[in-house]
Structure 1
Amino acid sequence: MFGYENINLTFSFNLIFFIISLLIIIAYSVYVYKYTLPPVSRFRRFFLAFIRIIALTLLVFIIFEPTLVLTEKKILPPVSLFFIDNSKSMQINDGSKRTEVVNRFIDDIINTDVKGEKKFYSFGSRTDAVAADSLNKLNFTEPSTNFAQIIDIIRNSDDNISTITIISDGVITDGSTPFYSAQRLGIPFFNLAVGDSSRKKDIELKNVLFNEYIYAQTPTAINAVITNNGFAGKNVSAGLYEGSNLISQKNIILDKSGVNSLSFEYTPVESGEKKIQIKVSVLDNEASALNNNKSFFVNILDNKINILLIAGSPGADLTFIKNSLTEDPNLKVNTLTQISPNRFLEQNQNLLLDSADIIYLIDYPTQNSDNGFLTKVSDKLRNKNIPLFLLLSSDVSPLKLKTIEDLLPISVTQIENNYLQVQPNPEFNESSNPLLNHSSESDWNNLPPIPQAISNIKVKPEGRVIVKTLVSGQPRSNPLIVTKNLGSKRSIVVLGNEIWRWKLQTAQKNIKLFDSFLLSSNRWLNAPDEDKKIMIRTSKKFYAAGEPIDFSAQVYDDLFNPLSDAELKLNISGPEYHDEIILSSIGNGLYEGSLSLTKNGDYKFSGQVLFDNKNLGYDNGTFNVGDVDPELLESRMNFDFLNQLSIETKGKTYVNTNTDQLIGDLIQANQDLSKEKILTSEIRLWSSEILLILVIVLFSLEWFIRKRSGML
């Protein structure tokens, strides 16, 4: 009826009540107009009764919230999707004539009568729909290959997709392998594998292992693995470069096993972000020279971190903490030991304070601590964003602790001179915390009890309790170790003293927890800022020439509320290049922008943020264009990936020479794959303005006729 399979009218209430209401309306209207004053003609009485019946019926109709349900059956023809790899790797010359194979298949499939509709897409760094008459304009220049985006396109389609065909070399250079998500689609993948999968004579720098954060003036190892096929016994040289400067070079005889491992010793001179390269010399007849080198960035930290231990009095905790920290050659540990009011055991207090990179307060400040020096400590912590470690005992003065309380994860109002003997009880969800993951839970449980002063302590919202307490083996809610990481301010508080017991009484059990905890705490406190007010990043460190370089930024005020109305200028400089771009706000303190660069080399960027004509700060970084082109590193077709993808989806993968078989299988797979789709639409009649207007018009018409007839 009217092109619909089914038309149904439903009410919010039982239909019987609507029928009863309708009968009452009819009876009432007939009764009202059976006799009128003054008397009017029978036709007029009938007409007025009819108007009232219709008006009241419509009114009740609206009250019963009627909904008109229309059901339509639609026949969906099968749709075949074709995804064509438009990345640079399709231009690799391996003798298989990749682009010719692709173009020939496109011509064949366009001119083949496959049942249903055919839709074409190109994919690389992004996936785009392509009209059939524009397929000959594909330029195979996309800087990366992302298969995961194909799944997103398919998942969001409303078409009756019958088959999916991917024409590619199967080499993924961006995103993840989509096996699981492709399998869940329930649609077969018929893939055309383009290229040569045979292994050619080649040398490849396969893996490089290094620490992302290393210290200046401290030797570190950079390890690499070199693979070869067909060059066993040949001599090559491998060089380690910092920027363009050769740091070390080694001569290697390529092993017949096909694998060589080598290690470079690298001692950075100064701090900062450095680009490191390993280059392996190129031999004649190599399939590709592009995979003979790798580049990466490392962060060089200051060579010696100055640790200042300020103690309220001489004691075992001070001695054990100092001895533990001095085991790290990258740390320079100084102490200031209070021996009387206004006096320390060591000299040059101000000089030691000024040079401190991390400050440990051990049972300090006490009631006798000098207010003037305490103010200097507070200013140093606050103005220089110096990280803080506090060991809290009953000797600490809560009143004087107020001077630095805003830097702590806790607030303290009272510390009694009474103690509980407590053992650490790490929080279950903190097992991966960098302060705890160096030791097992059993190691923590085997630690001896330490005294914890009975105190009135409140953990702040930004505080994070990572260890609570056990008293006589029973869990308590009292915190033992609390951390804070807000903006560029970090602090750790241990609510107890005599932690030297953790070292002394576990030495025979060979438990290194005490040393590991302190050294991990030190690394965490000195880690590069993760939560700066201004953060500007590139999406990655290495880009191919012409690839879009995406910048993202986050901007916050002093209270770390996001700022969305700031102006963010970004200056980019590199080889014979200098430009400035403005990053656009996308809300919630987030900004983005992009550009493309075609000249190879190292580039630097520096961003400045202005708000209300005030400079809020800046951030900077580096990236590289051209050193790494992932599309050209792997010249072999990855048949295994394409074949596994088709197996997971109950499809099939074909090689270059089997395009006719692929087309034949596509024709067969699309037979009888049309399907019915039931479309249901609901029209809420009770919310229709037309019905309300009609009710008003009918009542108005009734009133008008009654007035003209002299009726009340």
Structure 2
Amino acid sequence: MRVPTLTLLYIILAILFSVVIAYFQYFFKVKNTPKNHILLFSLRAISIFLLLLLFINPKVKLQKTENIKPKLSVLVDNSLSTTFFKEKDRVLELVRRFKGSNKLNDKFDVNFFEFGKDIDLTSADSLQFNDSHTNINKAIKSVNSLFKDEIAPMILISDGNQTIGEDYEYINSKQPIYPIVIGGTVKYDDIKISQLNVNKYSYLNNKFPVEAFVYYDGDKEISPTFTIYKSGKKVFTKKIELSKEKKSVTILTNLLSDKEGIDYYSASISQLPNEKNTRNNTKSFSVEVIDEQSKVLILSSILHPDLGAFKNAIESNKQRKVTIAQINSFKGDLEEYQFVIFYQPTFYFKSFLEKRTANFLIVTGTKTDWNFINSLNLGIRKSYINQSENYNASYNPNYLTFIQENIGFNSFPPLKDKFGAVDAEGNQTLLFQKLQNITTNEPLLATIEKGERKYGMLLGEGIWKWRASSYIKESSFEVFDEFVNNLVQFLSSNEQRKRLDVKIENLYLANEPITISALYLDSNFKFDNRASIQISLINNETKEEKVIPFSLINNSYQVKIEGLSPGEYNYHITVEGQPIQKKGKFKVADFQIEEQFSYANTKKLASIANSSEGKMYYPNQQDEFIQDLIKNDAYVTIQKSIEKEEDLIHWKWILFLVISLLTIEWFLRKYLGKI
């Protein structure tokens, strides 16, 4: 403990000052000093000193030594594969042994985490081994980030089979990784459908392609049969040849779409005589057959990357075919197209925009003639100057025209348009303009409905950057393309606005939660948060019926369904007290990606152990592993000297004492007749 020299000097000066002030009051030029003046002098001197001490507020510096133990992170695979490999009890025993090892806990600060699709950075006390995905890469990166400045080796209890995320084999881990392998390590002959590529849509009386990749892990020569079934009936079969040298084969066929609606298929490869895992021999898929293809035109006066971004996004839905044309060379008929995008219109677009009164999207930018657009009476006008500005997007959660989730609009790169104030009326704004981190009430993306007219406006160029940004975030264009197709679907439809809009898929995988969203509007087409909506599900095979109510979440109704057994289901969504309903069907496929592996991936686990300077172990080597960790000199407790400043006085008690002393002095002076 050490008091700073300057503080000591202040305290000495405070003592001298207090004594001098009290002396001048009770002894200076006083000839006959009563004895009671000594007591009053003492009370006054102490009171003044304590008051000065409050202002000085002396602090002491304390030197403390802290022992910092190295961190040890135990990452436990909480996915379904643990149960599939029948390793649940063994994993729980491993966790119990790590928690109960006194020597290990004396040397390390042990932290337990569970992971599947995500990682729980709080504990591993709720292990259920029911997560439908495994992301080892994300788990390792999260722990590395959590203990980035500390000594923190990690134990990875897993079979090493990852189903989503970036490949973890070559991850650059800052901490040593010690995998403990669970699951089967003995390799059996196995054959599986590793990948199935098929379009979601097809056209009536057309053929659609199906591409299947079959992989064989074995040494013998085999001749299995690949078969595709539709509603239990065989529609395609082919015998293939595989061997130790020829491990894989690609099968390509074309199937006929002979009926409008949703068709469900299953592809399977015949199992081997000694095959242990047959769950990966079958995969299901669905195809929605439509009667005709809608045509979309993108009409532009300039060349821009946005044109390709729109085309690729819209054509991700095989229902749509996109044509890009330049305004000065287009001689077609707009009526041939169900939807038109007018990209950065100028006066040369006049005749086309006068003919097209609905089902279009206008995209503006730095080359747009806003005088021309202002003259069209579209409900959106702009007072602009010939200077460009960057506008970020701000998602409007109160947008009620159709269901569109926030796909990260706020983090997308800005769009560029001419600078100016936007005057809008009669529109529904999906995205507001955000200028210099300030969200305005001016639209960036809006849809307009005027009687039978329906169109949209996007006030900015550069949407190709949004598509690229979404790909970086999602590792896929699917999320962004779905957003564009939602917009196109609404604007191109001539149907009256629906009061009940439901978002539901045609095919789901078993053991995965099914989320269904519904948007319900009242008779004035305003969101109604008082509605009671429910969904009735009927299994077509067992006839078992489930009735589940929707919950109100923000500005939509949602229901999350879990535990549905594989099979086809008819659904019926109703609104209580209203003649509004939605019917359809979907299928739950008997497919679980965590059950597609026949043995643990020891190769990748050994690779990441070596690259991170760790070591791979097996469950029966747990005692050896614990001893190795305890004896490892790289993991030692560090003594850290910490200097802290603490208050030397408690101001509340000092203040109470000062008031008490001054009160006593006052009463004594009153008693002695000094006042």
TM range (shorter): 0.5 to 0.7
Q: How does 1:268-667 map to 2 (within 5 A)?
A: 277-295=266-284, 303-305=292-294, 356-358=338-340, 377=357, 380=358, 386-388=360-362, 400-401=375-376, 403-406=377-380, 411=382, 458=420, 460=422, 485-486=445-446, 490-491=456-457, 527-529=485-487, 542-545=508-511, 549=513, 551=515, 571=535, 573=537, 575=539, 576-583=544-551, 594=560, 596-601=562-567, 625=588, 627-655=590-618, 658-667=621-630
How far does residue 121 in structure 1 lie from its aligned partner after superposition?
4.4
1:707 matched residue in structure 2: 670
Note closer, same or farther for the CA distance 1:360–1:699 as it changes in structure 2 (3 Å cut).
same
The question of whether the paired residues in 1 share the 8 Å contact of 2:507 and 2:586 is answered with: yes
Note closer, same or farther for the CA distance 1:296–1:72 as it changes in structure 2 (3 Å cut).
farther
Per-residue CA deviation, residues 208-253 of structure 1 (Å, 9 max, x unaligned), is: 3345677777655342211123464514123165xx4769424131
1:498 matched residue in structure 2: none
Note closer, same or farther for the CA distance 1:214–1:110 as it changes in structure 2 (3 Å cut).
same
Distance 1:273 1:26 in 2: 99
How far does residue 637 in structure 1 lie from its aligned partner after superposition?
0.8
2:239 matched residue in structure 1: 252
Q: What SS does the aligned partner of 2:157 have?
A: strand
Note closer, same or farther for the CA distance 1:554–1:103 as it changes in structure 2 (3 Å cut).
closer
The question of whether the paired residues in 1 share the 8 Å contact of 2:194 and 2:214 is answered with: yes
Q: What SS does the aligned partner of 1:651 have?
A: coil
1:171 matched residue in structure 2: 161
1:433 matched residue in structure 2: none
Distance 1:36 1:66 in 2: 35
Note closer, same or farther for the CA distance 1:172–1:57 as it changes in structure 2 (3 Å cut).
farther
- Aligned equivalent of 2:216, options 201, 212, 228: 228
2:23 matched residue in structure 1: 30
2:55 matched residue in structure 1: 63
Q: What SS does the aligned partner of 1:653 have?
A: coil
Residue type of the partner of 1:251?
K
Distance 1:297 1:174 in 2: 22
Distance 1:536 1:689 in 2: 64
Distance 2:670 2:447 in 1: 78
Distance 1:368 1:159 in 2: 66
How far does residue 332 in structure 1 lie from its aligned partner after superposition?
9.9
Distance 2:193 2:447 in 1: 40
Distance 1:29 1:183 in 2: 70
The question of whether the paired residues in 2 share the 8 Å contact of 1:169 and 1:638 is answered with: yes
Residue type of the partner of 1:651?
G
The question of whether the paired residues in 2 share the 8 Å contact of 1:215 and 1:300 is answered with: yes
Q: How does 1:82-97 map to 2 (within 5 A)?
A: 82-92=74-84
Matched, 1:201 2:189: yes
How far does residue 580 in structure 1 lie from its aligned partner after superposition?
2.2
Distance 1:102 1:204 in 2: 27
Distance 1:69 1:609 in 2: 70
Note closer, same or farther for the CA distance 1:64–1:661 as it changes in structure 2 (3 Å cut).
same
The question of whether the paired residues in 2 share the 8 Å contact of 1:162 and 1:669 is answered with: no
Per-residue CA deviation, residues 296-336 of structure 1 (Å, 9 max, x unaligned), is: 5678788332568999xxx9x9xxx9xxx9x9995599x9x
Q: How many residues align?
A: 566
Distance 1:357 1:574 in 2: 37
Per-residue CA deviation, residues 275-302 of structure 1 (Å, 9 max, x unaligned), is: 6643334343333221123345678788
Note closer, same or farther for the CA distance 1:625–1:367 as it changes in structure 2 (3 Å cut).
closer
2:478 matched residue in structure 1: none
The question of whether the paired residues in 2 share the 8 Å contact of 1:163 and 1:669 is answered with: no
2:637 matched residue in structure 1: 674
Distance 1:694 1:618 in 2: 78
Farther off after superposition, 26-35 or 676-685: 676-685
The question of whether the paired residues in 1 share the 8 Å contact of 2:535 and 2:571 is answered with: yes
- Aligned equivalent of 2:40, options 37, 48, 61: 48
Note closer, same or farther for the CA distance 1:9–1:174 as it changes in structure 2 (3 Å cut).
farther
Per-residue CA deviation, residues 90-135 of structure 1 (Å, 9 max, x unaligned), is: 3446xxx85676577678768876354485847354657568xxxx
Q: What SS does the aligned partner of 1:527 have?
A: helix
Per-residue CA deviation, residues 332-370 of structure 1 (Å, 9 max, x unaligned), is: 99x9x9xxxxxxx999x9xx69x9444759777999999
Per-residue CA deviation, residues 455-514 of structure 1 (Å, 9 max, x unaligned), is: 99847596999xxxxxxxxxxxxxxxxx9534796436899xxxxxxxxxxxxxxxxxxx
TM-score, normalised relative to structure 1: 0.59
Matched, 1:73 2:73: no
Distance 2:615 2:264 in 1: 44
The question of whether the paired residues in 2 share the 8 Å contact of 1:195 and 1:656 is answered with: no
How far does residue 171 in structure 1 lie from its aligned partner after superposition?
1.9
The question of whether the paired residues in 2 share the 8 Å contact of 1:76 and 1:160 is answered with: no
Q: What SS does the aligned partner of 2:487 have?
A: coil
Note closer, same or farther for the CA distance 1:288–1:674 as it changes in structure 2 (3 Å cut).
same
Note closer, same or farther for the CA distance 1:673–1:15 as it changes in structure 2 (3 Å cut).
same
Task: Indicate the percent of aligned positions where both proteins have the same amino acid.
Answer: 18
Q: What SS does the aligned partner of 1:599 have?
A: coil
The question of whether the paired residues in 2 share the 8 Å contact of 1:542 and 1:627 is answered with: no
Distance 2:433 2:545 in 1: 46
Note closer, same or farther for the CA distance 1:369–1:657 as it changes in structure 2 (3 Å cut).
closer
The question of whether the paired residues in 1 share the 8 Å contact of 2:187 and 2:598 is answered with: no
Distance 2:124 2:349 in 1: 75
How far does residue 33 in structure 1 lie from its aligned partner after superposition?
2.7
Residue type of the partner of 1:411?
K
The question of whether the paired residues in 2 share the 8 Å contact of 1:204 and 1:292 is answered with: yes
The question of whether the paired residues in 2 share the 8 Å contact of 1:390 and 1:492 is answered with: yes
Note closer, same or farther for the CA distance 1:691–1:411 as it changes in structure 2 (3 Å cut).
same
1:479 matched residue in structure 2: none
1:500 matched residue in structure 2: none
